[in-house]
Copies of this chain bind each other. A is one copy, B any other.
Amino acid sequence: MTRETNLQVLLRNRPEGAPQPGDFSVVETVRPEPAEGEVLIRHLFLSLDPYMRGRMSAAKSYSAPVELGEVMEGKCVGEVIASRHPDFTVGDKVLNGFGWQRFSSIRGEKLIKLEEDGALPLSAYLGVLGMPGLTAWVGLEDIGKPKAGETVVVSAASGAVGQVVGQIAKQRGCKVIGIAGGPEKCRFVTEQLGFDACLDHRGDLPAQLDAACPEGIDVYWENVGGAVQAAVFPRLRDFGRMVMCGMIAQYNEAPGADASAAPSGPNLGPVVRKRLHIQGFIVSDSGWSRYENFRSEVQAWMKAGKLNWREDVVTGLENAPTAFIGLLQGKNFGKLVIKI
């Protein structure tokens, strides 16, 4: 049997503004062989997520950037095709950060072994049962703390994180209002995910917010920043919580743009009067140590049909750059996953 080549997507240039296809290069390389203690994995699914824009930049962040010429970072679900680690055998399904490539060889200790029971698709471990779902759960547990009867607004509601956020909040007995782009996404959010309403940010968002939640907003899940943030922020109620998960609308801003250079956010005056609690978080700080708590709760809801989700599956690793560029433009619909 001839050894298959590895297909890899490398970071070629650091983009200024929106990434371009030429910022990536797709190369064929030699497939790795597992060393002692390593496991050789054929990747089945690669997750594409907005945080990757940060890894393409050399600007200081919470993780090191991808170096030029290196494989783009990303989480994958894969299948073990050779093992030199006692805990893994051929055929095992595993989850972890293998990068934008077809094969990798990794130390067994770095892998999460997936219990494949056939009830749920493997790609779900990159979305609702993976990092995005965990992000939703941790942010609500630690910061949002939604109580029954409260009003929760979720931006990017049809996206990977937003769809889980809103449904967890529904489980907690909240009124949940999504914000998404366009009637198709909005319909999905209300009809398939069961949000109480979904507002199209292409319309008059302040007026829509006033109509949908005249009582104000207790919890705002922030995925987008920009004009959506400006519309939601003044409508937060006293003791409101703003879960700062990300601000995708601002990810393509010039590197180094910071508060003093470009003061363009909300006047923080109401933070005092309303006792607002604004807190950013990174799921990897403490989330993975609670993965099993999260998984058991959410998986039960999924299996019972109480929690729905949507994926946007793009086939072919070579399409990852285009899909990622589209993700930053809101072109995806649901959790974006590359089927390798």
Interface, chain A (partner B; CB < 8 A): 54, 60-62, 206, 225, 229-231, 233-234, 238, 244-247, 250, 253, 257-282, 285
CA distance A98 to B235 in the complex (A): 34
User: What residues on B are CB-neighbors of A62 within 8 Å?
Assistant: 238, 273, 275
Q: A277-B278, A281-B275 are in contact. Are A260 and B61 (CB under 8 A)?
A: no
B269→A275 contact, CB < 8 A: no
Q: A275-B281, A275-B282, A278-B278 are in contact. Are A231 and B244 (CB under 8 A)?
A: no
Chain B's nearest CB lies how many Å from the CB of A76?
Answer: 24
Give A236's nearest chain B residue, CB to CB. Answer: B259
User: What residues on B are CB-neighbors of A262 within 8 Å?
Assistant: 267
Q: Knowing that A229-B268, A244-B276, A247-B268 are A-B contacts, what are 4 other residue pairs whose CB atoms are under 8 Å apart, sorted by A's residue number?
A: A246-B272, A258-B270, A271-B278, A277-B278
User: What residues on B are CB-neighbors of A233 within 8 Å?
Assistant: 259-260
B285→A278 contact, CB < 8 A: no
Chain B's nearest CB lies how many Å from the CB of A60?
Answer: 8
CA distance A133 to B265 in the complex (A): 31
A269→B285 contact, CB < 8 A: no
Chain B's nearest CB lies how many Å from the CB of A140?
Answer: 16
CA distance A225 to B253 in the complex (A): 25
Q: Which of A273, A274, A282 has the most CB of B within 10 A?
A: A273
User: What residues on B are CB-neighbors of A263 within 8 Å?
Assistant: 230, 264-267
User: What residues on B are CB-neighbors of A260 within 8 Å?
Assistant: 206, 230-231, 233-234, 266
A267→B259 contact, CB < 8 A: yes
User: What residues on B are CB-neighbors of A280 within 8 Å?
Assistant: 270-277
Chain B's nearest CB lies how many Å from the CB of A264?
Answer: 5
Give A143's nearest chain B residue, CB to CB. Answer: B277
Q: Per a CB cutoff under 8 Å, which of B229, B231, B234, B271 touches A279?
A: B271
Give A245's nearest chain B residue, CB to CB. Answer: B272
Chain B's nearest CB lies how many Å from the CB of A215?
Answer: 15
The 8 closest A-B pairs by CB, nearest first: A259-B266, A278-B278, A272-B280, A271-B280, A277-B279, A234-B259, A233-B259, A265-B267
User: What residues on B are CB-neighbors of A281 within 8 Å?
Assistant: 272, 275
CA distance A250 to B231 in the complex (A): 21
Chain B's nearest CB lies how many Å from the CB of A229?
Answer: 7
Q: Which of A61, A278, A280 has the most CB of B within 10 A?
A: A280
Q: Per a CB cutoff under 8 Å, which of B266, B272, B277 touches A268?
A: B266
Give A59's nearest chain B residue, CB to CB. Answer: B273
Chain B's nearest CB lies how many Å from the CB of A118?
Answer: 37
Chain B's nearest CB lies how many Å from the CB of A46?
Answer: 24
Chain B's nearest CB lies how many Å from the CB of A286?
Answer: 10
CA distance A239 to B63 in the complex (A): 15
User: What residues on B are CB-neighbors of A225 within 8 Å?
Assistant: 268-269
